[in-house]
Amino acid sequence: MKNSRKFVSLASVAILLAGGVLLSGSAANAVSVSNITVGASPIGVALSPDGVTAYASNSDGTVSKIDTKTNAVVKTITVGSAAPLGQGPYGIAVSPDGKLVYVTVNGENSVAVIDTATDVVSHPQGYTGLFSGPYAVVFSPDSSTAYVTQADAGNVAVLHTATNIVDFSTILVGNIPWGIALNPSGDRAYVTNTGDGTVSIIDTENKSVLYSVRTGTHEKYEQGQGALGVAVSPNGAFVYVTNNQDNTVSVIDTVTHTVTFTYPTAFNATSSFAGPYAVAFSPDSATAYVTNNDGANVFAIDTTTHALKDTIEVGTNPYGIAVSGGSGSMGYVANTGSDSVSVLTLIAPVLAVTGTDTSVLALAGGLSLLLILGGFAAVRMRATARR
């Protein structure tokens, strides 16, 4: 045991000599937060499939394009006119093939399309001025279809991305539909109806509502106060729904289509939901991240034990949230009250190397290996000498 400790210590010395910082224990899992200034009152945030770019929809009529490697805004893209909170650019989504970004512009009753290769914005004729209170948008897994909730019409519009044709009034849902999420296979859509506190479960192939599940405690809510944010776990097993006015979060089983658990307002004496808004999952479905719009934090929740794992302080009035795929190491939160996007490092690397020269990391690994092999050789020589 003493020798094994020595080898680990020697390896650590090699890393430190190479200019790195060795992290261990709780420090390795600590969440660090930095903030990026974007446009006025950002609401939505979305990530490209490769996690290289983040997009934030701002109430000033723009979308901020963020390089996630440098955490800098590299371009500001105009998609509409400046408007009061909730009436300008709102919902935002990147197609799974990474080619398109769709942005709902609520006050203009339109959907703007950004070509990610050129950052050129188009307003297809079928997408301009013909919607009725568009809020959330989501793409099918094959990127061929986009679904947009229409709060003023009480339905979900189906957009065909190749032809820019829109099927209006095809899927009637509940009162004031707001959020929308698809399961991994894309055959089920979950729509939150903020006016009546329900979730409509849609068969996307037949474009029909199969089930209506109540998550709120009331039958009627003011706009934006009932069931609001929605996300399907990456493993497809459950759906999380934020109940804004009730200050709770409901869990829907995707097999039984029933609410199996509702997180109460308070986890403990110091941690309570405060206007829960959006929700996102870690790639392994083990953690749910919920933004508290009336506060300045994000709750990290264990989806198995339903325990509060962490409270992450971000900017003022956090709205949308996105978590990167793959390792799920990064999260992005749109802070409406502070005109910023918070960048969350959710999983810290074991080795943080100062500088950008990757040869330093290679040097660290080489030195570690040499020192460890040297240690084994020394032990073997001592053992031979004793014989």
Residues 24 and 128 in one domain: no
Residues 247 and 362 in one domain: no
Query: Within 10 Å of residue 268's Cβ, how many Cβ atoms?
Result: 7
Residues 362 and 262 in one domain: no
The answer to whether 106 touches 90, Cβ cutoff 8 Å, is yes
Residues 282 and 383 in one domain: no
Residues 294 and 334 in one domain: yes
Residues 78 and 93 in one domain: yes
Residues 246 and 385 in one domain: no
Torsion of CA 18, 20, 24, 30, to 10 degrees: -170
DSSP state of 232: E
Residues in the chain: 387
Residues 287 and 386 in one domain: no
Place of tokens 């240690």: 375
Q: Is 97 exposed, middle or buried (0-12, 13-18, 19+ CB in 10 A)?
A: middle
Q: Euclidean distance between the first and final Cα of the chain, in Å?
A: 21
254: which residues sit within 8 A by CB, 6+ positions away? 183, 188, 232, 236, 237, 238, 239
- Domain range holding 362? 1-30+354-387
Instruction: Say what the pLDDT of residue 129 is.
Output: 87
Question: Two tokens at 358?
Answer: 């990757």
Residues 189 and 215 in one domain: yes
Residue 364's H or E segment, with its range, is: helix 358-386
Instruction: Say what the pLDDT of residue 273 is.
Output: 96
Residues 360 and 251 in one domain: no
Which string of DSSP letters, residue by residue, matches 219-230?
Answer: S---TTSSEEEE
Residues 24 and 35 in one domain: no
**CATH code, domain carrying 284:** 2.130.10.10
Mean pLDDT by 10 residues, the chain (387 residues): 36 30 34 95 97 97 97 97 91 98 96 98 90 96 97 95 87 97 98 96 97 91 87 98 96 98 95 97 96 95 97 97 85 98 79 37 36 39 44
Residues 240 and 101 in one domain: yes
Q: Domain count for the chain, please give it.
A: 2
Query: Within 10 Å of residue 131's Cβ, how many Cβ atoms?
Result: 26
Instruction: Say what the pLDDT of residue 30 is.
Output: 61
